[in-house]
Amino acid sequence: MNTRRSGLAPRTFMLLLMVYLLLPLLATGLYAFAENWQNTLLPEAWTFGWFGEMFKDIRFLEALWTSLYLCLITVLLSLAVMLPAVFVITVYFPCWESFMKGIVVLPYAVPGVVAAVGLIRAYSSGPLNISGTAYLLVGAYFVVILPYMYQGIRNSLLSVSAVELLNAAELLGARRRSAFVNVILPNIWPGVIVSALLSFSVLFGEFVLTNMLVGGHIQTIQVYLYRRVGESGHLASAIAISYFVFILLLSALLMRLGTLGKR
Amino acid sequence: MKQRQRGVILALLPFVLMVLAFQVVPLLSMLTGSFRREDGTGFTLGNYLHAVQSAYYMQAIKNSLLISVASSVIGIAAGLLCAYCITRFTPAVRDRLLMLSNMTSNFAGVPLAFAYIILLGNNGVFTLLFKQWGWSVFSDFNLYSWSGLILVYVYFQIPLALLLLYPAFYGIREQWKEAAALLGAGSWQFWRTVGLPVLSPAIFGTLGILFANAMGAYATAYALVGGNYNLLAVRIGSLVAGDVVTQPQMGSTLAVLLALSTLLAVYLNQRMVRLTEGFTSKPPRKRAWRREASAGIRAAALEEAGQ
């Protein structure tokens, strides 16, 4: 089958890389199932107990729920705001696109810690005192996923040739709004879902902003995990592994949708 | 016509408001904050002066720069090697390898620091094992120090470097190698005189991203060493939402310095990307969708590792 020969050296290096990358994951996985693991290469006894304990812990379930609904609200809000905005920019004001790109790249260049400093300063006093509330966090999350949402929506619009579609719809007598809702939206939906899922998984793993902005008041799954690390290693491993599996399933879904959308 | 314009403005208004409120205003507030006196009034350059004169803050900046440079350089060297190796495999194997390394980029921040604590921490599995086996080589390794941080930083730098670099290898055409071979150049000579110069914009651009990534990394360091290791990002965090005394003005100043360094690095990357685009051909067409997906995941990796 191998049309191109892969020599010994590439194989060795890739094997080393995979060991390096997968070892921490594997260890966490083993630790989550280990009853007792000291002084031996592999654990002495196995158990599902840590997972059981995890689901019995009411604080874990609360944190999970908090994470889920905060991420969901942010993604929905972002969809509601970004869909019309990106549509208008792409279709009517292509000249503004480079400006938009500048805004959208900014969250990459500004690390979470820096963004948190600004947010805390801007909103901990004055007329809009929303520090420590979910509103501030949702706003901060909105900025975090800005690049993914913008790119995703824009790419979908371009790949279905939104401008031509719109012109055709209007030629046939559709009003602009109904053309957008009935023609454009259904066509870009698969791409938009992919970027929404990606944004969701990014937010699910977000720690810095959450911990700095609302860490004392609202516990998401990441903040909870951080708090538990010091208490029980096994339990924290179980949580970390469940979190990882969840994200993995989400990205598998994403990949599938990606293939379907391109067909 | 009037109505059309009103519709357009209505569609853009929420976006403009959100960006203003949660991106522009906070950044401006941070910038003005860095020029305020400690009581929050007036205009002063004192904070910057203080940051430069304070041995403590300078050490944080130095540590951050050192760890970022070191982890980026190691990351790019390993990334280059692996990116080259990955082009030697068949597309199916290559995609699987890329997927695996992508997958690990979800494993960042708190869970990653935690995994390393299990492996190599004070009571880590390997730590205890090595002690039992009497391997003294590892006895002076300390996860909660410089070498431990480097190890963990490199972990999230390599997949990112790999992902950003491997498309650039497709810019190097087989014909060039053949031409070079016909003219009598060996493999090493080809890479030194043709291959690496062609790759260099991509390498420097990627270096910028890796550097920014490491400078901004907070969650991993915070979860691993808490406030015990003097890093710029960790210092900023404790100054603003501090456990001891909060000094928001000083925090803003350091944050501006950090932001300047990452902005510069990302700017470098953008310039280099434009340079690369000039003469890089695209990876095989068949996998086009995967390239797009990986661009998204690349961004995700960037984001997550930067936490």
ipTM, two decimals, is 0.85
**Banded model confidence at residue A216, pLDDT cuts 50, 70, 90:** confident
Q: Residue written as tokens 């209505």? A: B10
**Residue B255 has what pLDDT?**
93
* Nearest-Cα residue of chain A relative to residue B33: A121
Classified as helix, coil or strand, A46 is: strand
Q: Which residues lie below 8 Å from residue A47, measured CB to CB, with a gap of 6+?
A: A33, A34, A35
Name, in order, each residue with C-beta under 8 angstroms of B64's C-beta and a sequence gap of 6 or more: B215, B231, B232, B233, B258
A252 Cβ under 8 Å from any chain B Cβ: no
Sign of CA dihedral A233, A238, A241, A243: negative
For B280, half-sphere exposure in the C-beta direction (CA atoms, 13 angstrom radius) is 22
To the nearest whole Å, the CA of B300 is away from the closest chain A CA by: 6
| Structure-block tokens of residue B254 | 């350091």
Half-sphere exposure of B254 (CA within 13 A, CB side): 31
CB contact under 8 A, B18 and A21: no
pLDDT single digits (tens) A50-72: 888 888 888 889 999 999 999 99
Q: pLDDT tens-digit profile of B204-223?
A: 889 999 999 999 999 888 88
Pick from A88, A111, A148: which is nearest to B306 by CB?
A111
Question: Model confidence at B74, in pLDDT bands (50, 70, 90)?
Answer: very high
The H-assigned helical ranges of chain B are 2-19, 25-33, 46-53, 55-87, 91-104, 110-120, 125-133, 146-169, 174-182, 187-190, 196-216, 219-225, 232-240, 248-277, 288-305
Does position B257 have pLDDT exceeding 80, yes or no? yes
Contact B115 A25 (CB under 8 A): yes
- Model-level pTM? 0.85
* Residue B66 near residue B152 (C-beta atoms within 8 A): no
Band (A194; pLDDT cuts 50, 70, 90): confident
pLDDT given at position B286: 37
> Touching check for B151 and chain A: CB below 8 Å?
no
Q: What is the pLDDT of residues B11-67, one digit of tens each?
A: 889 999 999 999 999 999 999 988 988 777 778 888 898 888 889 999 999 999 999
- Strand A45-46 versus strand A34-36 pairing type: antiparallel
Cα four-point dihedral sign A196, A202, A207, A212: negative
Residue A98: helix, strand or coil by DSSP? helix
The Cα B28–Cα A219 span in angstroms is 28
**Vertex B273, ends B86 and B27: CA angle to 5°?**
115
Cα of A107 to nearest chain B Cα, Å = 8
Give the separation between CA B218 and CA B44, rounded to whole angstroms: 28
Q: Alpha-carbon torsion A168, A169, A171, A175, what sign?
A: negative
B141 vs A17, A109, B63, B128, B131, CA distance in Å?
21, 33, 19, 12, 12
- Cβ–Cβ gap A202/B112 under 8 Å: no
Residues pairing with A36 in the sheet: A45
Q: Is B107 on the interface with A (CB under 8 A)?
A: yes
What are the angstrom distances between the C-alpha of A63 and each of A60, A67, A217?
5, 6, 12
Rounded Cα gap, residues A41 and A62, in angstroms? 36
CB–CB contacts below 8 A, A to B: 278
pLDDT over 50 at B307, yes or no: no
